[in-house]
Every structure is written in C-alpha cells, then in structure tokens.
Amino acid sequence: MRVRHAMAFAIHKFFNDRGFFYIHTPIITGSDAEGAGAMFRVTTLSPENPPLDEQGHINHKEDFFGKETNLTVSGQLEGETYALALSEIYTFGPTFRAENSNTTRHLAEFWMIEPEMAFYDIQDNMQLATDLLQYLVKYALDNCAEDLEFLNKRGLDEEATKPQDQRSELSLLDRLKFVTENEFQKLSYTEAIDILKNSNPNKKKKFQYLIDSWGVDLQSEHERYLVEKHFKKPVILYNYPKDIKAFYMRQNEDNKTVAAMDVLFPGIGEIIGGSQREERYDRLLTRIKEMNLPEKELWWYLDLRKFGSAPHSGFGLGFERLMLFVTGMTNIRDVIPFPRFPGNAEF
C-alpha cells in the first residue's frame, strides 16, 4: 500500500509536470465504451416488480436516469471530448467489468489511467507510453527502495521453492531495471506473428495457443515470449488486425489493420493498450455500422468529428497491473485494498 500511494502520486506528478489536465469522467454511463466487457447495471427500479412497457420489457423511462445506465468500463470516449478542447488530458479513476473471471490478473473493480492527446499520432502515443512507464518505475526505485528490497527478497525466496525450469530468470529489481535501462523494441503485429510462428515453442507445440495464422489475438504466453526470450527488452506492438480491435481505432490505408499499440512487459505481458483514434467521420460511421453498434447512443461521439476534428491518440494503463509489475506480487487481489471479484464483495 505504501508503494501504491507512491505510484498514484507519481502518475499525477508526471502528467501535471507535462501540462496535462486531470479530468473526472463519469462513473455512471449510458454507453459501453468499446464492447469491452459485461457491465454492471445501475438502477433504482424494484427487482421484484419492475415497471414494464407494452412489449413486456423493463421500462427504463421510469428509472432514475430515464434510460438504461451502467458502471463505466472506461473513461476514454468522454476523455476524448475534453482532449479536443484542452489538448492534453488524463483520467485516473475506477472502472468496472462484470465478467465472471476468476484469474490472478482480473478484478471486477479496478483503477485505470487514461490519457488522451490532440495532435498525437500513433508514434507520439508510443513515446508518451514509454516515457510514463520508465518514469513510474524509476520513481519507485528512487522513492520506495526499502519496500522494493523487501519485496525482492520475498520474491527470491519464493522462486527458490520452485523447480529449476519454472524459475524466473530475473529478480524483481532486475525486472524493474530491465524497463528503465532498455530501449523499448517496436515492431508490427505482422512481424510479431512471423517471429512467433517460427519460434521453437510454437514448432514444438509448447504454446497452449499455437500460432498458425495472421489475425489471431495474442495471448499472454506469446507476449511474454517476445519480451523475455526473443528481444529481452520491453516490446511495443502496433498495427493490429482491425477485426480484433475496437471500433474507434484509426484504420490504416491497407484496410486490414488499425493504428493500435500495446506495450508488453516481462512477467505480465500487456501493461498498456492504446491507439490513434479515428478522426474521420465517414470511416468511423462505417465502422460503427459494420460492428452493429448503437449509432443512436454514440451520436455525441460522432458529432466530435462531424464538424471537423484533429488527429488524436490515447491509451489505458491498468493501475493494478502496474502495481503487480512494480511489487512482483503474483495475484492482482493482493495489490488493491478490498478486492472485488466474482462471489466477493466483503466489507
């Protein structure tokens, strides 16, 4: 928790020192940012006897907000409205996913840092993500030395109990310095697929998910192979297939890929996901229709482009993912006070 405080402070300091504005985006929202996952409903209607309309459906016109509302999965879309007014903004707040996911990497309630920047292209976006991560890890090394020393020793003791072939090559402090002391390797999704397809674990069927074709979504094991085994440095992948990415990402001229980027770290795989946003009204509208998204609910987002816009980009950094990396903990439930996950809402 001491490290968590230091990281939260460092995030605000990083953005404040660069002239970003901190925006509070809504926690209760009427839109699903990206089909990012199942959402928690917000309602004051009686669960036993809700009002029904003529078709027998729940009548949300009688609900508190007069429409169906949910807890937010992301502040990004609202953040974009302010980026186009104030140039560079960021949000840092709670987000919610109602997925029945009982893993060591998922929570139902977590915190997210989401900057949005006008006049940034995908390259500028990657640079800001690199600068932020290196700044945060360096801040932890400089300001949390005693706690990190303790966590490093704890990690080494834990590794010593594992069979030799399952031990991590790097200690916690080594992993942190791995980020501050290395250039991040940039490569396209297409190049990454070629490397993975021809890799030993793929040829020898060691991967749980084998890579056999272009267009598949990469799993944590693939991301970690690229970082820990192939390049031995943090990796930024970009230009992903449009079919596995969200509707708002800028389409590239090949009509197959979008200007998306993910930053991959040792031990945890993806730590940041982001993209250049689609600023062209007609391309965005076509994509919304292709993906059968509710055009009516996204009228305000489309209006941001309707009367002229600017290139802009942004990304999301899950705060608890960052905490996992910086502390070397292996379960995300250990880096947040009072974790929320399926079947658990104690205290």
Q: Which tens digit of pLDDT belongs to each residue from 247-288?
A: 999 999 999 999 999 999 988 889 999 999 999 999 999 999
With tokens 């706690």, the residue in question is 147
> Which residue in 343, 320, 336 sits closest to 101, CA to CA?
343
pLDDT of residue 33: 54
Q: Is 147 exposed, middle or buried (0-12, 13-18, 19+ CB in 10 A)?
A: middle
**pLDDT band of 296, cuts 50, 70, 90:** confident
Token duo for residue 318: 């899950």
Estimate to the nearest angstrom the gap between the alpha carbon of 65 and the chain centroid: 29
Whole-prediction pTM? 0.93
Q: Which residue has the higher pLDDT, 294 or 240?
A: 240
Q: Which tens digit of pLDDT belongs to each residue from 99-138?
A: 888 888 889 999 999 999 999 999 999 999 999 999 999 9
Q: Which domains does the chain have, with CATH numbers?
A: 2-37+73-334 (3.30.930.10)
Q: Which tens digit of pLDDT belongs to each residue from 137-158?
A: 999 999 999 999 999 999 999 9
Q: Which tens digit of pLDDT belongs to each residue from 203-228?
A: 999 999 999 999 999 998 999 999 99
Q: How far is CA 208 from CA 4, 201, 203, 204, 218, in A?
A: 33, 9, 12, 11, 11
Q: Are 200 and 165 in contact (CB under 8 A)?
A: no
Q: Which tens digit of pLDDT belongs to each residue from 10-19?
A: 999 999 999 9
- Res. 35: pLDDT tops 60: no
**Least confident range of 26-30, 34-38, 59-63, 81-85:** 34-38
